[in-house]
Amino acid sequence: MPTVIVAHFKTNIYEYLEALQKSTLDKLYEEPATCLAIFRLLPSLARQLVMSLLFSTQIMSKADLRQWIKNDKESLSKFEEALDKLQKLHIMIEQENKTIALNSSFKQKFQECLTGGGTHQSFGKLYNKPHRHSQSNSHKLPDIKTLDEHAKTKWEEILHFMVGTDRMNSPGASVLKVVTKANLMREKEGKGLEITNKGFQFLLQDVNTQVWAFLIQYLDLASEMLHMNVVEVLNFFFMLGSLELGQDYSVEGLTDTQRQLLDDLTNYGLIYRPKKSSKRYYPTRLATTLTSGNSAIVSNSSSNNPTDDDDSATEQGFIIVETNYKLYAYTISIF
């Protein structure tokens, strides 16, 4: 099961990135967090090829790389697939003299990612100022449970809106725009928006795929209508994927485009902000699992996230005493 889920959301982003211009991709590779996120989307053999070339200064040709691969059909086909993907994403570039090399911007920034060098602040600037309202009860700092609640509420608002259940809050205007543009819902005369076939399929997908499909449509919308800088928006998405859940980050250092995003992303449940004008934001689980492939919590009943041991630990046991004085105790097993 996990195999299929991961493949879906990767394909979405991958197709979008492939369609971008080479120059846009080069600009994207100037942020180490983006390099890391895109690197993790590659097939396994492609990732190994990048790593083998990352710190090497040798000039290699395609035939040289081929020497590294075993000589059977399956290995060679995987090699061709890997090279093809790398070249399409402009990570590996074939020069005129038949040599093949890593994109120099990607190479340098990915090296910085692994060694921790540079001053890019690509992995999220921490909010270092003391919390003003931490003492008073009315503005409590959000804990992970609050963040999960917020994410779940906002995302389900969108899903329920699509299905047409009568709910108190209808999602914001930007949601309506995205949903119409993505052809997930369409205008029906007099009755407002109605869900389409594609919309139904969207509802059946897992959360990660849904979130990415949504974000990609948002990206298209943002670049066409709001003239937002696609590179900055993508960089922000990939940075969100590398942040820590439960930690607050400063909006300082974000570009204007990225600050514009904050409101919309709060409406989708990816970010939590204590106040609209707050100088800090908290990524929710929907954001931190963007590039990891782990499932984001949406439903209350089961959490697929294996690192979330809160739910299982607080599972209550219980004791039954029958009228014939028999006692049954259901407790947590220690084995």
Which positions lie near another protein, rule CB under 8 A?
Answer: 2-3, 6, 33, 36, 39-40, 43-45, 47-48, 51-52, 54-56, 67-70, 74-75, 78-79, 112-126, 242, 244, 247, 291-294
In the complex, least distance from residue 128 CB atom to another protein, rounded to whole angstroms: 9
DSSP 3-state of 186: strand
For residue 135, the minimal CB distance to another protein (Å) is 19
In the complex with another protein, the residue whose CB is nearer, 185 or 296, is 296
- Cα separation, 2 vs 174, in Å, equals 31
In angstroms, what is the minimal distance from the CB of 256 to another protein? 19
- Which pair of tokens denotes residue 310? 């809160």
Q: Which is nearer to another protein, 99 or 121 (CB)?
A: 121
- In 3-state terms, what secondary structure has residue 193? strand
Nearer to another protein by Cβ, of 210 and 242: the residue is: 242
Nearest-approach distance from CB 291 to another protein, in angstroms: 7
Identity of the residue, 49 or 231, whose beta carbon is nearer to another protein in the bound complex: 49
Closest to another protein by CB, 190 vs 306, is 306
Question: In this complex, which beta carbon is closest to another protein, that of residue 119 or of residue 165?
Answer: 119
Closest distance to another protein from the beta carbon of 62 (Å):
16
Tokens found for residue 128: 């270092």
Whole-number Cα distances in Å, 273 to 121, 142, 161, 277, 296: 21, 9, 23, 8, 19
Measured CA to CA in angstroms, residue 77 lies from 22, 64, 69, 285 at distances of 25, 16, 10, 37
Least Cβ distance, residue 159 to another protein (angstroms): 25
Closest CB 112 distance from another protein, rounded Å: 8
What CA–CA distance (Å, rounded) separates 141 from 69? 53
For another protein, give the closer residue by CB, 74 or 322: 74
Helices (H), 269-334: 285-288, 310-313
> Least separation, in Å, of the C-beta of 272 and another protein?
17
- What gap in Å lies between CA 294 and CA 71, rounded to an integer? 35
Residue among 54 and 101 whose Cβ is closer to another protein: 54
Check if the beta carbon of residue 214 is closer than 8 Å to that of residue 178. yes
Of residues 112 and 220, the one with the C-beta less far from another protein: 112
CB burial of residue 175 (10 Å; 0-12, 13-18, 19+): buried
* Minimum distance, C-beta of residue 277 to another protein, in the bound complex (Å): 23
**Cβ(211)–Cβ(286) under 8 Å?**
yes
Structure-block tokens of residue 176: 């309506």
Q: Cβ atoms within 10 A of the Cβ of 302, count?
A: 9
Helix (H/G/I), strand (E/B), else coil: 38? helix
Contact 112, 118 (CB under 8 A): yes
Q: Tokens 């900055």 map to which residue?
A: 232
